[in-house]
Chains A and B, each alone.
Chain A
Amino acid sequence: MSSIKKSVSKLFLATIGMFLFGFALVPIYDVFCEITGLNGKVTGPTFSEYEDIGNREIKITFTTTNNNGMPWFFDSDRPQMKVKTGEQNLMSYVFTNTTDKPMIAQAIPSVSPGKGAQYFHKTECFCFEQQYLEPGESISIPLKFVIDPDLPADISSLALGYTLFDITKDQMMKQASN
């Protein structure tokens, strides 16, 4: 009955393979989103000096949202600004822990339209860090960014949205399991 054994072991391997493939979908999805700018995902800080800085004026809108149940005050200094492509720009955001407990938060960015996400370069940004604030503490954190001169001509405005998540519980869980 070796032909049966052969079939079974092949099918068993296929099952394991598909289970692993399910997990492989996670990085595949991230890479795919990065290439296509899907979901407005922005990659880490990249910066290069542009020879041709272009001369286009782009309107940037800043939105902030608190995720469900997140009590902090969180806003940008100004709701909008006009910037030139290729130039360094600065915007600051205020975070205030309005509760009486120390909390950890994480802001997750998204650029819209998604097609423009890969041309929005952040050179210094709080979105890669977790914010720890004592009760009542307030800080202002800068965001430095450059708009790539290669930004497609049909895009004249971009929106940068931040959603603030409460990750205190997750961080505690991580520490507990370590």
Chain B
Amino acid sequence: MSAVIEGHHDDHHHGPAKGITRWLYTTNHKDIGSLYLWFSFIMLFIGGAMAMVIRAELFEPGSQIVSPEFYNQMVTNHGLIMVFGVIMPAFVGLANWLIPMQIGAPDMALPRLNNLSFWILPAAFGVLLATFFMEGGAPNFGWTFYAPLSTEYAPPTVTYFIFAVHIMGASSIMGSINVITTILNMRAPGMTLMKMPLFVWSWLITAYLLIAVMPVLAGAVTMMLMDIHFGTSFFKAGGGGDPVLFQHIFWFFGHPEVYIMILPAFGIVSHIIETFSRKPIFGYDSMVYAIASIALLSFVVWAHHMFTVGMPIAGELFFMYSTMLIAIPTGVKVFNWLSTMFKGSLTFETPMLFAIAFVALFTIGGLSGLMLAIAPADFQYHDTYFVVAHFHYVLVPGALFSIIAAVYYWLPKWTGYMYDEFMGKTHFWLSFVSVNLTFFPMHFVGLAGMPRRIPDYAMQFADYNMIVSVGAFLFGLSQLLFLYVVLKAIIYGKKATGQVWEGAKGLEWTLDSPPAYHTFETPPNLEAGEAKG
């Protein structure tokens, strides 16, 4: 069953190495977790700066700040960076920090692979961002890179983009193999699967999704590469291929991908809500089954992204109903979170505020998703700002808020220092107000027909777009405050206790804050403590 660390090394009690080599050669899950989180934080500001350019251009109708070509590059790279450079690495960072500590393992199962899977990521994004300085400019075909936009009509830099995606995919796959192997083989004795903390469960399922779909994405970009350089015709209609095939392959990857970006958030929010409700999570088993069924359903709904390509009616109906089915397990989760809070002795520290905002605002994003799932209605909503509003509601106050909540919740554990509660709450309220100011009016302009991905718009959308832009600038600035809060905690923070939060339960809270460089070298005794997170 569990593989306990065998064979002690001679250099038993070594700490981290000194200098830059500590980070370059590290195989320590805590170091690698921090690397991932900092990388994702930096990319958040790069991708965020691109969003600011987009919103500055859309502040008023007409073309004023950037050229339409550059606007397309901004939209494309904003999407790519936020998806592959912010949300995914942040979750992998959290997995690295938390999974070994939550299951009582000394480290990840494959520490060297872990180092590699992090260090190829900066290379991937270096390649992607370098395209801005090349002839033809950066990729400009949208983050979904539909063929033939991304093949026949693409700038020459598309080849760099393809290799960047390959590297990102390799990184995610290696990370996932590591996570699954760790969870399946290295749990402390007595921690059965159904006793695992929910964050670990959500990551186990996410890792399986990644292994199932990242190789398909790699296949799709490989086909693009061959179409562009080797004269094949996978997506070229002139050679007997089919551009619609690209969309099917892309969304076969793409839909599970959007759940990859939300399932770990479900795990995080479950931990935070139970801690600050001082009650165990309501319906632990149903939470696990809900995550698993959302993951399984994600493989049979992909064509709801392409209702307008001209599918037969039977296809439209199938994908419409299968999509709506996902609302059931998601609803189970939302009601479980509400039931956990019900009659709990609640306190509202910053992580809890972000977690509650997650539940409320993610549900709004889920409901607009249901509206989009209605195939006949989707013909109206397709490619409008309503879609932009929908996926930003699930990704920003959804995935991103859960990551921010996780940082506030576990930062005292990682660093040993408390953050400034007042500043944290200020950050929350600024983010909460500005995120709604940014994304809620997008529903209205979308329903009124404003198309996405276009650098200009009709006069009647001017007022709402100005509000959206103001909200976006405010949201961008609020995240600088977040950086300040994190740095202040690390530099000036008050010492945190081991348990940190009064209601916190789970193995990681039995360790010191900060935990020793190597923890759980002998597995914890679960019978004595409480394991269920």
A36 to B312, CA, bound (A): 9
Listed stretches A49-57, A135-143, A152-160, A169-177; interface member: A169-177
Say yes or no: A173-B231 contact (C-beta < 8 A), given A1-B3, A18-B211: yes
Listed stretches A20-28, A73-81, A83-91, A118-126; interface member: A20-28
Q: Which residues of B contact A108 (CB under 8 A)?
A: 237-238, 240
Q: Contact at A8–B177, with CB atoms within 8 Å?
A: yes
Cβ proximity bits B214-241 to A, threshold 8 Å, 1 near / 0 not: 1111111001000000110110111110
Q: Which residues of B contact A14 (CB under 8 A)?
A: 211-212
A16 to B218, CA, bound (A): 11
Chain A residues in the interface with B (C-beta under 8 A):
1, 3-4, 7-8, 11-12, 14-23, 25-26, 29, 33, 36, 38-39, 67, 106, 108, 114-115, 163, 165-167, 170, 173-174, 177
A114 to B237, CA, bound (A): 17
Q: 17 A-B Cβ contacts within 8 A?
A: A4-B181, A8-B177, A11-B176, A11-B211, A14-B211, A14-B212, A15-B177, A15-B214, A18-B213, A18-B216, A20-B219, A22-B217, A29-B242, A67-B238, A114-B310, A170-B236, A173-B230
B165 smallest CB distance to A (angstroms): 13
Q: Which residues of B contact A67 (CB under 8 A)?
A: 237-238
Q: Contact at A26–B238, with CB atoms within 8 Å?
A: no
Q: Contact at A166–B185, with CB atoms within 8 Å?
A: no
Q: Contact at B216–A19, with CB atoms within 8 Å?
A: yes
Main secondary structure of the interface of A (DSSP, over half): helix
Q: Which residues of B contact A18 (CB under 8 A)?
A: 211-216
Q: Contact at B110–A22, with CB atoms within 8 Å?
A: no
Q: Please tell me if B358 contacts chain A, counting CB pairs below 8 Å.
A: no
Q: Contact at B180–A170, with CB atoms within 8 Å?
A: no
A39 to B109, CA, bound (A): 48
B531 smallest CB distance to A (angstroms): 21
Q: Contact at A7–B185, with CB atoms within 8 Å?
A: yes
Q: Which chain B residue shows the least CB distance to A3?
A: B185
Q: Please tell me if B488 contacts chain A, counting CB pairs below 8 Å.
A: no
Say yes or no: A165-B230 contact (C-beta < 8 A), given A23-B219, A25-B248, A25-B252: no
Q: Which residues of B contact A3 (CB under 8 A)?
A: 3, 184-185
Q: Contact at B245–A29, with CB atoms within 8 Å?
A: yes
B116 smallest CB distance to A (angstroms): 14
7 smallest CB-CB distances across A and B, nearest first, come from: A22-B219, A165-B238, A19-B215, A18-B215, A22-B216, A173-B231, A174-B231
Q: Contact at A19–B177, with CB atoms within 8 Å?
A: no
Q: Which residues of A contact B211 (CB under 8 A)?
A: 11, 14-15, 18
Q: Contact at B215–A15, with CB atoms within 8 Å?
A: yes
Q: Contact at B233–A170, with CB atoms within 8 Å?
A: yes
A14 to B173, CA, bound (A): 11
- Inter-chain residue pair count (beta carbon < 8 A): 105
If A7-B109, A22-B220 are given as contacts, then 16 extra A-B residue pairs at C-beta distance below 8 Å, sorted by A number, are A8-B177, A11-B180, A14-B212, A21-B215, A21-B219, A25-B252, A26-B245, A29-B242, A36-B312, A39-B242, A39-B310, A108-B237, A108-B238, A114-B310, A170-B239, A174-B231
Q: Contact at B238–A106, with CB atoms within 8 Å?
A: yes
A4 to B223, CA, bound (A): 33
Which of A4, A106, A170, A177 is within 8 Å of B185, CB to CB? A4
A177 to B239, CA, bound (A): 16
Q: Contact at A11–B177, with CB atoms within 8 Å?
A: yes
Q: Which chain A residue shows the least CB distance to B227?
A: A170
Q: Contact at A7–B231, with CB atoms within 8 Å?
A: no
Q: Which residues of B contact A19 (CB under 8 A)?
A: 215-216, 218-219
A124 smallest CB distance to B (angstroms): 19
Q: Please tell me if B244 contacts chain A, counting CB pairs below 8 Å.
A: yes
Q: Please tell me if B193 contacts chain A, counting CB pairs below 8 Å.
A: no
Q: Please tell me if B311 contacts chain A, counting CB pairs below 8 Å.
A: yes
A169 to B493, CA, bound (A): 64
Q: Please tell me if B127 contacts chain A, counting CB pairs below 8 Å.
A: no
Q: Contact at A26–B234, with CB atoms within 8 Å?
A: yes
Q: Contact at B238–A8, with CB atoms within 8 Å?
A: no
B221-278 residues at the A interface, CB under 8 angstroms: 223, 230-231, 233-234, 236-240, 242, 244-245, 248-249, 252
Q: Contact at B238–A166, with CB atoms within 8 Å?
A: yes
B6 smallest CB distance to A (angstroms): 8
Say yes or no: A38-B311 contact (C-beta < 8 A), given A3-B185, A14-B211: yes
Q: Which residues of A contact B244 (CB under 8 A)?
A: 39
B177 smallest CB distance to A (angstroms): 5
Say yes or no: A15-B238 contact (C-beta < 8 A), given A4-B181, A38-B311, A39-B244: no
Q: Which residues of A contact B6 (CB under 8 A)?
A: 1
User: Which among B216, B223, B231 has the highest number of chain A CB atoms within 10 Å?
Assistant: B231
A163 to B300, CA, bound (A): 32
A95 to B411, CA, bound (A): 70
Q: Which residues of B contact A115 (CB under 8 A)?
A: 312
Say yes or no: A8-B245 contact (C-beta < 8 A), given A15-B215, A174-B231: no
Q: Which residues of A contact B248 (CB under 8 A)?
A: 25, 29
Q: Contact at B218–A163, with CB atoms within 8 Å?
A: no
A47 to B286, CA, bound (A): 58
Q: Which residues of A contact B242 (CB under 8 A)?
A: 29, 33, 39
A18 smallest CB distance to B (angstroms): 4
A17 to B217, CA, bound (A): 13
Say yes or no: A4-B216 contact (C-beta < 8 A), given A29-B242, A38-B312, A114-B312: no
